[in-house]
Amino acid sequence: MIEQLFKLKEHNTDIKTEVMAGITTFLTMAYIIFVNPGMLASTGMDQGAVFVATCLAAAVGCLIMGLYANYPIALAPGMGLNAFFSFTVVGQMGYSWQVALGAVFFSGLCFFLLSVFKIREWIINSIPLSLRGGIAAGIGLFLGFTALQNAGIIIDSPDTLVTLGDMSSWNALMTALGFIIIVALYFRNITGSVMIGILAITLISIITGHVELNGIISMPPSIAPTFMQLDLAGAMEVGLISIIFSFLFVDLFDTSGTLIAVAQKANLLDKDGQFPRLGQALMADSIASMAGAGLGTSTTTSYVESTAGIAAGGRTGLTAVVVALLFLACLFFSPLAGVVPAYATAPALIFVTVLMTHSLVQIHWDDITEAAPVVIAAISMPLSYSITTGIAFGFISYTLIKLLSGRYKDLNSALYVLSALFVVKLAIFN
């Protein structure tokens, strides 16, 4: 049955290899079960319920990807998207988390429709590679900035807006130590380096008495506080259209980038260089986002960490199914997840910043008309504390700079439309 379902022989793999690949992928991305609940809890959501929603959304996404698309790609609530949900939509803009969940649902629905009508390719191909890199880097910088704030390393200042906090504090010291551990382990190719770093700082905090551990294994918390609490009517407000678009936009590029990375790593492209079963893979991502919103978590998306499992030999959806089963097993470790302090997850966010800013190497820095909009998009996200604003500034500046430079041939209809929409958004709904 397994052979018939996943076509293992056709992909030159076996059950043992797929299982080991699934375990490898899981270890590289399991940090999300510690990071996501704490981040979304800042919006007023029940942390235990978000923990369950995170595990279930990841399991649902992985199962659909594995059983329907037969790809070794794992899904879970995405980094960057959860920060946008917590700190921008709820924290800065003042919407309730229920409305934010509604926006996540509609973004998933839009992604689903774009996949059905095959519009996704047109959008992706219309956005310049430089802007994609700038947006990815900006989201990374946004994550790093919020992590440094949470750790008390960066604090507010009436004179300079921000300044250095108390570096001798326990939070700051543990954040710095955690980051060093993660980077060193990653350099040594230790599987699960991010999760090990989080657990190491948590263990030190338990031993020193800074946090108290009340057990490791228990029955899962109730998901009732977040289950089906999304406010769809509230998310239909005109001012939220740009928010829905931002969720969609980031998820679109996250998923596309991951699929490309996975295809190249696993040699999954067909003889014509096309990605087979692309529609199924996109369907899995969009359905997982809608399901995650219903369960009570931010956008669920494909994880580039899936390439770790592919490097271990994963070639079929059985790898993703193994990841799903491991996320379900994590439901019984809620006491451990609940005790992880914010300064233990902050190093993981800073490390993700390092990975995401790597996209800047794709930029043609010798072409100022390409480089300038990228820098504007990247730095405006953390400084305005808004991913949406960074995306808007990036599109508007790119279009105007190209026009005034006489490089209008570099533009297309999608850039004109999106830039105009962002101008309206900033002028009316800012």
Q: Per-residue pLDDT tens for 314-361?
A: 888 999 999 999 999 999 988 887 788 889 888 988 988 888 888 888
> For residue 176, what pLDDT is reported?
96
**Count of structural domains within the chain:** 1
Who's near 358: CB < 8 A, 6+ residues apart? none
Mean pLDDT per 10-residue interval, the chain, length 430 residues: 84 88 89 91 94 96 93 89 89 91 94 81 74 84 88 90 93 95 93 88 93 85 94 85 83 73 67 70 90 94 84 87 95 85 88 85 91 94 84 92 93 88 76
**286, burial (CB in 10 Å: exposed 0-12, middle 13-18, buried 19+):** buried
> For residue 36, what pLDDT is reported?
94
Backbone dihedral region of 13: left (phi > 0), alpha (psi from -120 to 50 degrees) or beta? Answer: beta
CB 60 within 8 A of CB 191: no
DSSP string for 268-301: ---TTS--TTHHHHHHHHHHHHHHHHHHT-S-EE
Q: Which residues form the domain of 117?
A: 2-428
> For residue 237, what pLDDT is reported?
82
Task: Identify any residues that bridge with 300 across adjacent strands, giving them in sequence order.
Answer: 77
> For residue 359, what pLDDT is reported?
80
* Radius of gyration for the chain, computed over Cα atoms and rounded to the nearest angstrom: 21
Token look-up 């919006």 returns: 43
CB 263 within 8 A of CB 269: yes
CB atoms within 10 A of CB 88: 22
Tokens of 337: 């997840």
**Angle at CA 254, nearest 5°, toward 193 and 37?**
55
> For residue 328, what pLDDT is reported?
96
Q: Give the pTM.
A: 0.81
Query: CA-to-CA distance for 297 and 35, rounded, in angstroms?
Result: 12
**231, burial (CB in 10 Å: exposed 0-12, middle 13-18, buried 19+):** middle
